[in-house]
Structure 1
Amino acid sequence: MRSLDLTAATWRKSSYSNQDGGQCLEVACGFTAVIPVRDSKNPYGPALTFAADDWSSFVSAVKDGSVGD
């Protein structure tokens, strides 16, 4: 598998992220086939990538409450 260059990626995190003690994820914007995700406390650490469809399904499940803590 080819490595994804994230050096110029624009990262964003939820506006709710400061409400939970800093345990946040950031998502890189501008990618279509994959969604890069990283730990906001370790911005120079590794990022995980998820297929866009899988990430969308995960986010939907979190929003509707079918994914627990």
Structure 2
Amino acid sequence: MQMGTVEFHPWGARSDSLDRPERMVFYLDPGGGVGFAATRRAALEVREVLDDAGLASWPLLSGARVFM
């Protein structure tokens, strides 16, 4: 269900350096009718922007949705 809201994640920093976060989450949650190929393209575009900014990135799949 698409709720049009911002999802909050735990703070991306260690307890000894709260002012220096080291993790940022880009949560791609495709709506109905959006297939895996389109979601993959979006993830690759996000990765390219992060690469251009000198930031390393890794995909994390929740497995909460099955693409057919």
TM normalised by structure 1 equals 0.28
Largest Rg, 1 or 2: 2
